[in-house]
Structure 1
């Protein structure tokens, strides 16, 4: 519970509420040299506790519902994409050009799952879409040279670093300065009034409207969690940047999905912002400012809003404007070095930075909503994958032996099946669990971009 208590304190939570959390520990799940099992449980635990706290606040006080964190549920959810089946078909994994490559002086990892990123990578390297040709090209160049060349072309490549090298890097120092979850009060908007949640299950976010401007995994997990808790979540995507189908399915539970060009569809976005309680963004810092979607601009037009921002590398520093993904952040920060072997880098047993950051972001939003019921104020909540990586590395003390225990634990108790517009789905159940709370999403994912741009 030490890490959970630390996370909860960082979120501004009442330390006494940690006693409401019980854990079912299953040593051996999410096997790793870093404390991934404890980290994952803490991320989910503070999210569930924040949800339970908000439920109690809305009910007028009283005891906060008991929270239960089961390592089996958490481990299953942290690899939800691996358990997903659509009409029996497994989800597609990393694309052939998303992998580690040897360079003249070390290793580099690229990310090319999205077609536009793949095109930029190949353009920067001047090679055909042939792994052998790419390997031959990279073997002649230094890792940092590849990193800079591909990044300059708008692609994604990161050189392997040790934790010590990352700590000495200008971006490593910049992202380490803020707290794990940044919490900022933006103005003096009046206190938020929330009616008691009605009926069962207990839905602490019922009646709240969440505008979801996120992509990939971490942000959509945060908004998927808010949808679980009863919020009306509407995700907006640009029409010219389709989401990967399986990724949309895995993170689309409980939500609606619409397409809007933020430039030409400004009026539609403004109508949504005018009634939004929460706006969650997952683009590079500052990328949405020109559309009036900075935290300050949103608070000015919608006093009392909670703005949640997610980035890969942090809000400041020379890499703040760079694109990034969980797998690349693992490489830059030294996690891949720790998890690797002598002759090859490795990876965590799950995309734990994405999943963990998603639950932390949802927890930050829920805590902001609770704080608003007493103190008001528009709120900013901000997280970064690289900052989450720093916490996972904190106190690691170098590589450790993987835990012995239930490494082959069956995920069956934490899987469910249902029909959907996308086909018959098998999927991981949500790990966020508290007394009388929901155990599944109210609706399955729908087809990408087919909903109306309006609140329910």
Structure 2
């Protein structure tokens, strides 16, 4: 099947961002079949997400590099051949999709998952829990009525059905989902609601005038230079998106509540190029409104409805900051019966049938990377970049929305178009991503110590090769624009 026909190919993904198909000729790929081995087309999905993001960056960078000081293009829009060549290397993409596993802090490897974050046998199958954060762990244990002992948790779960555990833990504010096959998920009401939506939801928020894109230098070409991004995201997908915007020159300020501590190593992996500050949005509203008044982009990744209740819906933000681009990310989508549920990549893999596809209903498997998180993160960054390009022509504040469950649907759709998952298991084929990642790793000093990390996978001619600054400690910066 050609890339044009594949639902996980670059052409389809680029189309979901509203991109001009003529620009696809500017993309070349280096295929490495040994990386990201899986039954599902993970390598293809990862390549398409990174490629679409890089092409959106090259497109916006060309527009800005072609502008005169007056903000006008001397001879109209840059042509296709004026767009920098984009190169997508499967090796770089695979390394980036497991960046958290390659990170070393003073030679120490981070701990990826807590002991209670795993699959467990139930009376009728399997359930996947997520308990990396203390508050989620406490809610899980409260729902099960057990101490923090894996043996006690296993015994309690073995007596209940998977769906019973799913509902009980959700009611307690915790995180657990039953393992489902793709067919079982397809019959679920939430799956039907997700399937009705496009991969990337895009639309207007207001009638603000066209954005004036100031010129940028070509060495390196930074498409997002001078743009201010408020980062209200946590964990992986959202921070990957804003890490990418920071690579491309944006001034990214991540804001976290002082009451929701972050995992330090996770923050380090996704904190390159950004600043990090603490701000209680329920108390420090004046400080937030001052930041919003100068922001070009707001990226949110909290559970649907959480920020809306604080007056931070896309419509409310655009009313106070006309012309803003609002990018929203969720696990299950902000609709359907699970529209208000928390979720993470591992849970979405379990619920949607991915884990059963990579293993079996009797023994679940996993993708070779948190591909839903990383893939959606690059798509979110690409969607923001395309929204900024469209604003330069048409004006108007914009919103873009993505969901991990919708990205999961794309991956499963890609498998269906190739006749189903390939034989073999990712776990059996490779411990990390397949092949050697040494070519994609580098080191730098930081406030957290000496870091080994993965170089950026987003690459185009004349673009940045690394982030302008290493990550700092969580919450160490002041909540103001630099």
Shorter-chain TM band: over 0.9
* CA-CA distance at 1:450 after TM superposition: 1.1
2:479 pairs with 1:453: yes
Contact 1:8 1:46 survives alignment (8 Å) = yes
Which of the residues 169, 179, 184 maps onto 1:165? 184
* CA-CA distance at 1:410 after TM superposition: 1.0
Number of the residue aligned with 1:430: 456
Alpha-carbon separation, structure 2, partners of 1:254 and 1:206 = 12
* CA-CA distance at 1:126 after TM superposition: 0.2
Give CA deviations for 1:346-392 in whole Å, capped at 9, x if unaligned.
Answer: 10000000000000000000000000000000000000000000001
Which of the residues 15, 20, 37 maps onto 2:43? 37
Number of paired residues?
Answer: 456
2:76 pairs with 1:50: no
Alpha-carbon separation, structure 2, partners of 1:281 and 1:360 = 14
Contact 2:207 2:397 survives alignment (8 Å) = yes
Number of the residue aligned with 1:309: 328
* CA-CA distance at 1:167 after TM superposition: 1.0
Alpha-carbon separation, structure 2, partners of 1:53 and 1:399 = 34
Contact 1:28 1:403 survives alignment (8 Å) = no
Give CA deviations for 1:273-298 in whole Å, capped at 9, x if unaligned.
Answer: 00000000000111101222100001
2:136 pairs with 1:110: no
Number of the residue aligned with 2:69: none
Alpha-carbon separation, structure 1, partners of 2:298 and 2:424 = 39
Contact 1:27 1:403 survives alignment (8 Å) = no
Which of the residues 111, 115, 118 maps onto 1:92? 111
* CA-CA distance at 1:199 after TM superposition: 4.6
Number of the residue aligned with 2:213: 194
Which of the residues 151, 160, 167 maps onto 2:170? 151
Alpha-carbon separation, structure 1, partners of 2:412 and 2:366 = 13
Contact 1:33 1:339 survives alignment (8 Å) = yes
Alpha-carbon separation, structure 2, partners of 1:106 and 1:77 = 33
Which of the residues 296, 300, 313 maps onto 1:277? 296
Q: Secondary structure at the match of 1:165?
A: helix
Number of the residue aligned with 1:120: 139
Which of the residues 214, 220, 232 maps onto 2:251? 232
2:386 pairs with 1:367: yes
Point out where structure 2 has 5 or more consecutive residues left out of the alignment: 67-76
* CA-CA distance at 1:105 after TM superposition: 0.4
Alpha-carbon separation, structure 2, partners of 1:19 and 1:362 = 21
Give CA deviations for 1:87-114 in whole Å, capped at 9, x if unaligned.
Answer: 0000111100000000000000000000
2:401 pairs with 1:382: yes
* CA-CA distance at 1:403 after TM superposition: 10
4+ residue runs over 3 A deviation: 402-408
Number of the residue aligned with 2:271: 252
2:307 pairs with 1:291: no
TM-score by length of 1: 0.98
2:233 pairs with 1:214: yes
Alpha-carbon separation, structure 2, partners of 1:428 and 1:152 = 39
Which of the residues 58, 62, 66 maps onto 2:85? 66
Give CA deviations for 1:21-43 in whole Å, capped at 9, x if unaligned.
Answer: 00000002100000000100000
Coordinate RMSD, CA, aligned: 1.3
Structure 1's 402 and 70: CA in aligned 2 closer, same or farther, altered over 3 A?
farther
Alpha-carbon separation, structure 2, partners of 1:12 and 1:402 = 35
Q: Secondary structure at the match of 1:380?
A: strand
Alpha-carbon separation, structure 2, partners of 1:122 and 1:342 = 25
Number of the residue aligned with 2:161: 142
* CA-CA distance at 1:58 after TM superposition: 1.0
5 Å-filtered alignment, 1:23-34, equals 23-34=29-40
Contact 1:28 1:402 survives alignment (8 Å) = no
